[in-house]
Amino acid sequence: MNTKREERKREILVLFLFFYLLGGFYMYDVIIIGAGISGATIARELSKYKLRTIILEKEFDVATEATMANSAIVHSGHDPKPGTLKAKFNLLGNRMYKQMSTELDIPFMECGGMVLATSDEEANLIGDLYKRGIENGLKESEIQLLSREEILELEPNISDLVLSGLNLPTTAVTFPWEAAIANIENAMDNGVELALETKVISITKDNFFTVKTNKKTYQGKVIINATGIFGSEVANMATKASFETRARRGEYYVLDKDVKVANRVLYPVPTTKGKGVIITPQYHGNTLLGPTSEFVPFEDVSKTTAAGLEYIKVNSLKLLKDIPFHKVIRSFAGGRATSSTEDFVIEESSVEGFINVCGIESPGLTAAPAIAVYVVEELVSKRLELKSKESYNPYRKKVIRTIELSQDELNELYKQDRNYAKMVCRCEKVTEGEIIDAIHRNCGATSIVGVKNRTKASSGRCQGGFCQSEIINILSRELEIDKTKVVYSKTDSYVLIDTTKGDFE
């Protein structure tokens, strides 16, 4: 009898300990909701300090919404309304990008930009835009008025409509999803956790926040709401938000990398609707044409339309004389979050410790590293003590991009790992070694699009027609899952549904 009672006692103790630990296990200093560029840069910034941080992301991978569907531009800071958070963080962010890109090995192309006026009315606005740039803090070396002749010398393909313009040499181009992925990977290398396919259902606050998700329940002292177009929806879970986020859709065309239509980012003169249809050369050689800009229901943000794509054609041809549209290899659309306040919302809400980083539309990608520093040093610091972590390493393990290596370097690499000479993607020249590396890093690829976003494999002119089956083989082998369980992009987006009759393996 006695021994049985003791056993029972021990069982209760073990159970108690288990639940106590479990509670502690899910207790975080900071819970970031949303793994877009904002959540990513904030996570990395937080990882400098002795804080327990987790990122909750509802999608199958990180960086799938606005971070995925934008122009990839690191804007100079010339056009936000002076005095706004957009203006402030754009300029600060632009000046931080190079260092961040070096530390995290993110592609960064300092190509410069230009605003082009294509009517007398627009030409009259160029002077105002120049003044605005100066007011926003651009130095005179960072913004100059240009005549048509001066533009032609730098951009011979401009249309006959172009009258004058503005030179913006500090405009650059990044690779947005890699920027987000690299920030999260580095944050994870420094101890931050990531929970994917984890959708927040409710948030309550007692002594600390309790965040219920479709999976586990998490507890945290500080919440950062970086949920893009769902910003006000998530903010409203904690308290009635002071703003509303709506979704604006941007559609894009991608041109193949073998055509070059512009040497730098070419903007039209901005309107109240935004920056307009921009011509953006990409780091990897492609050109992006877009975006459109229209408010749509959340569920329609990633839907391309014939009308939208036609709009891009018409408007991009105002800037350029010749665009080979038969070289289009892809079109896509994505949603960006517009706040009812018409500015970024970066604030602690009326609930102590609940921080909104919302309405981060353009120039959000540029502003992200500066926003992160502000959020951590000015807002999180009010609720948590920031103690530096000696072990913090700002560098991400270098990414091997075989296309950038010389033949000698390639053969040196080949001696270490033969997979770097197995060419998987023939259009973009991506090797099996690069794909395996992308799978096994922190925040690694787990889907076909995940591989594409990290390595460029299957993003070229054949769009995976030849290499997708090989990418499925590699994912299946490296993740130790059946080929029918390999997904294209989202949860359950399987490509292969069954084996055919007969014995194949």
Q: How far is CA 346 from CA 203, 342, 378, in A?
A: 19, 12, 11
What single DSSP character describes residue 391? T
Q: How far is CA 120 from CA 116, 204, 269, in A?
A: 11, 56, 11
Chosen residue from 95, 401, 429, 441 binding another protein by CB under 8 A? 429
Chosen residue from 431, 446, 453, 455 binding another protein by CB under 8 A? 431
Chosen residue from 298, 461, 478, 479 binding another protein by CB under 8 A? 461
Segment interacting with another protein (CB under 8 A) among 94-102, 184-192, 277-285, 493-501: 493-501
**Which of the residues 210 through 229 are near another protein (CB under 8 A)?**
none
Segment interacting with another protein (CB under 8 A) among 105-113, 350-358, 361-369, 405-413: 405-413
**Which of the residues 25 through 54 are near another protein (CB under 8 A)?**
none
Chosen residue from 465, 477, 481, 485 binding another protein by CB under 8 A? 465
Chosen residue from 13, 21, 22, 496 binding another protein by CB under 8 A? 496
From the number of C-beta atoms within 10 Å of its C-beta (0-12, 13-18, 19+), residue 10 rates as exposed
Is residue 208 within the footprint of another protein (CB under 8 A)? no
Is residue 407 within the footprint of another protein (CB under 8 A)? yes
Chosen residue from 351, 414, 441, 479 binding another protein by CB under 8 A? 414
Instruction: Say how many C-beta atoms besides its own lie within 10 A of residue 50's C-beta.
Output: 16
Rounded Cα gap, residues 261 and 158, in angstroms = 9
Chosen residue from 149, 206, 404, 498 binding another protein by CB under 8 A? 498
Q: What does the per-residue mask of binding to another protein show for 235-264, with x meaning CB under 8 A? A: ------------------xx---x------
Of the pair 3, 416, the CB lying nearest another protein is at: 416
CB 309, min distance to another protein, A: 6
Is residue 502 within the footprint of another protein (CB under 8 A)? yes
Of the pair 426, 477, the CB lying nearest another protein is at: 426
Rounded Cα gap, residues 54 and 475, in angstroms = 26
Segment interacting with another protein (CB under 8 A) among 173-181, 219-227, 388-396, 464-472: 464-472
Chosen residue from 144, 157, 419, 442 binding another protein by CB under 8 A? 419
**Pairing outcome for strands 294-295 and 73-74:** unpaired
From the number of C-beta atoms within 10 Å of its C-beta (0-12, 13-18, 19+), residue 25 rates as exposed
Query: Residue 349 contacts by C-beta under 8 Å, 6 or more apart in sequence?
Result: 235, 238, 239, 241, 242, 355, 356
Of the pair 341, 419, the CB lying nearest another protein is at: 419
Of the pair 24, 502, the CB lying nearest another protein is at: 502
CB 445, min distance to another protein, A: 16
Rounded Cα gap, residues 221 and 207, in angstroms = 8
Rounded Cα gap, residues 7 and 218, in angstroms = 32
> For residue 71, which of 301, 455, 366 has the smallest C-alpha distance?
366
Chosen residue from 260, 426, 440, 477 binding another protein by CB under 8 A? 426
Is residue 446 within the footprint of another protein (CB under 8 A)? no
Tokens of 183: 């920030």
Is residue 415 within the footprint of another protein (CB under 8 A)? yes
Size of the site for another protein (CB under 8 A): 56
Is the separation of the CB atoms in 166 and 129 below 8 Å?
yes
**Which of the residues 289 through 348 are near another protein (CB under 8 A)?**
302-306, 309, 328-332
> For residue 336, which of 359, 354, 316, 314 has the smallest C-alpha distance?
359
Is residue 484 within the footprint of another protein (CB under 8 A)? yes
Is residue 469 within the footprint of another protein (CB under 8 A)? yes
Is residue 410 within the footprint of another protein (CB under 8 A)? yes
Is residue 485 within the footprint of another protein (CB under 8 A)? no
CB 405, min distance to another protein, A: 9
Is residue 284 within the footprint of another protein (CB under 8 A)? no
Which residues are known catalytic residues? 75
Rounded Cα gap, residues 308 and 290, in angstroms = 9
Q: Quick one: angle between helices 432-440 and 448-455, nearest 10?
A: 110
Tokens of 206: 């007692």
Is residue 499 within the footprint of another protein (CB under 8 A)? yes
Q: Ramachandran region of residue 458, left (φ > 0), alpha (ψ -120 to 50) or beta? A: left
> For residue 389, which of 106, 44, 96 has the smallest C-alpha distance?
44
Tokens of 138: 């651009």
Rounded Cα gap, residues 54 and 482, in angstroms = 29
Residue with tokens 């009898």: 1
Of the pair 297, 465, the CB lying nearest another protein is at: 465
Is residue 491 within the footprint of another protein (CB under 8 A)? yes
Is residue 418 within the footprint of another protein (CB under 8 A)? yes
Chosen residue from 12, 202, 411, 440 binding another protein by CB under 8 A? 411
Rounded Cα gap, residues 336 and 231, in angstroms = 11
CB 452, min distance to another protein, A: 12
Positions touching another protein (CB under 8 A) are 253-254, 258, 302-306, 309, 328-332, 407, 410-411, 414-415, 418-419, 421-423, 426-427, 429, 431, 461-466, 468-469, 483-484, 487-502, 504-505
